Structure 1
Amino acid sequence: MIAGTAMVFVVAALHDERSACRGLQVNKPLMLRLATPADTESVTDVLFISRETFLPFAKSPHSRQGFRSWVAEYLIPGGRVTVATVDHEIVGVLAVSEDQGIGWIDQLYVHPDHVSVGVGSLLLQHAHAVLKHPIRLFTFQENMRARSFYERHGYQPIRFSDGQDNEEKCPDVLYEWTGPTPISIQP
């Protein structure tokens, strides 16, 4: 990629009956691109609103302003944040990293108005394409929606904890994905 250019590509078009039933526009292109500092408010909104909606049991110790500062000063400048957009509106956020040969999904959130239409799956596929394997992530044990999502995509739980190491102090689970399962061809 040439310095100063943004990665933008059409991943898919949102189109399914669930979208139409919920009043979402269908057949709109879903685009992935790198987050920029101008995305700070929208990224903060997706992360904050998703946490409030889906993680009421894991209250963040940070205010919305504190969350925004973290997004502006740490998350986006880290350079590995991808946003999913529909009509230029950010509807999903993915933040990844690598440490000691292991890929990490640090954040994967979809705005509540856009869940269950493929945004999360496409962000996850993108993570699989850009990260070294294995790929790991943490989610809260009580977050059954996320656990089911990751398990459907081949992630396996490898460690459960009491949550004393996370700032929410909620029991969590470490998941790992080692890559696609090889197809066995029988003679």
Structure 2
Amino acid sequence: MTSVVLRRASAPDAPAVAAVWLRSYSAALPTVRRAHSDDEVRAYIRDVVIPRGTTWVAEATVECDSGREGAGVVVGMMTLDGEEMNALYLDPDWRGQGIGDRFVALAKELSPTGLTLWAFQVNHPAQRFYERHGFAEVHRTDGSGNEEREPDIRYAWRP
């Protein structure tokens, strides 16, 4: 049996958080230019994102045949800064298991007055996901304001 817990990320989680971000980005956005190298992403997550204290992880533990739990593995991450959800990435092998739904529920609980986020226009699965969770499109851009230079959509959720 597998269990998944959501918890705040800490410094030792940085390599796993970066690995999830990199795998998820590559799988979900293969046509989107990455503005930073893998090493730059790892350093940014380690030196900036995790120390801010606004990152949450989904940690999966698997019960072994002996009945004991195995080591936990980070399978998802979300960064929430006030009302801004800056990132929500899941390991591709863990999509479709309700973890993203749990992250959004947590974000709504932590920011009960509302949330905003950006999604790339080419990421149709993300758009459907956020719209299913009550987010509404409020603005589209040509991408000139983001590092990837990729057209994006601003979403907002208000209770």
**Please, what TM-score do these two structures have when normalized by structure 2?**
0.91
Segments ≥4 residues shifted beyond 3 Å: none
Cα distance in 2 between the residues matched to 1:139 and 1:106:
10
Which residue in the other structure is 2:73 paired with? 89
Q: Offset of 1:62 from its aligned partner?
A: 0.8
3-state DSSP of counterpart to 2:150: coil
Give the C-alpha shift of residue 162 in structure 1. Answer: 0.2
1:163-183 deviations in Å (ceiling 9; x for gaps): 00000000000000002xxxx
Larger radius of gyration: 1
1:31-63 Cα distance to aligned partner (Å, 9 max, x none): 011101101110000001100111112121211
| 1:48 match | 22
* Partner residue in 1 for 2:65: none
* Pair 1:161 & 2:135 matched: no
SS of the residue corresponding to residue 36 of structure 2 reads coil
- Number of aligned positions between the proteins: 149
Could you tell me which residue of structure 2 aligns to residue 35 of structure 1?
9
Q: Percent identity?
A: 31
For the residue of structure 2 that corresponds to 1:76, the secondary structure is: helix
| Structure 1 position 134, deviation (Å) | 2.0
Q: Comparing both chains, which one has the higher relative contact order based on Cα–Cα distances under 8 Å and sequence gaps of 6 or more?
A: 2
* Aligned counterpart, 1:79: 53
Q: Is 1:146 aligned with 2:126?
A: yes
Distance 1:168 1:45 in 2: 19
The 1-side partners of 2:84 and 2:112 are apart by 9
Q: Residue in 1 aligned with 2:44? A: 70
Cα distance in 1 between the residues matched to 2:113 and 2:29:
28
For structure 2, which runs of at least 5 residues remain unmatched after alignment? 62-71
Look up the equivalent residue of 1:63 and give its one-letter code.
S
Residue of structure 2 aligned with 1:127, choices 107, 120, 125: 107
| 2:88 aligns with one of 101, 108, 113 | 108
Q: Tell me, what secondary structure is at the counterpart of 1:51?
A: helix
Q: How far does the alpha carbon of each residue in 1:109-168 deviate from its partner, in whole angstroms, 9 at most, with x for none?
A: 010000011010001101111124221000001100000000001100000000000000
Q: What is the CA–CA distance in structure 2 between the aligned matches of 1:28 and 1:133, rounded to whole Å?
A: 33
- What is the Cα deviation at residue 73 of structure 1? 0.7
User: How far apart in 2 are the matches of 1:178 and 1:110?
Assistant: 24
Contact 2:108 2:114 in 1 (8 A): no
Structure 1's unaligned 5+ residue stretches are 1-26, 180-187
**In structure 1, distance between residues paired with 2:21 and 2:96:** 17
Q: TM-score, normalised by structure 1?
A: 0.78
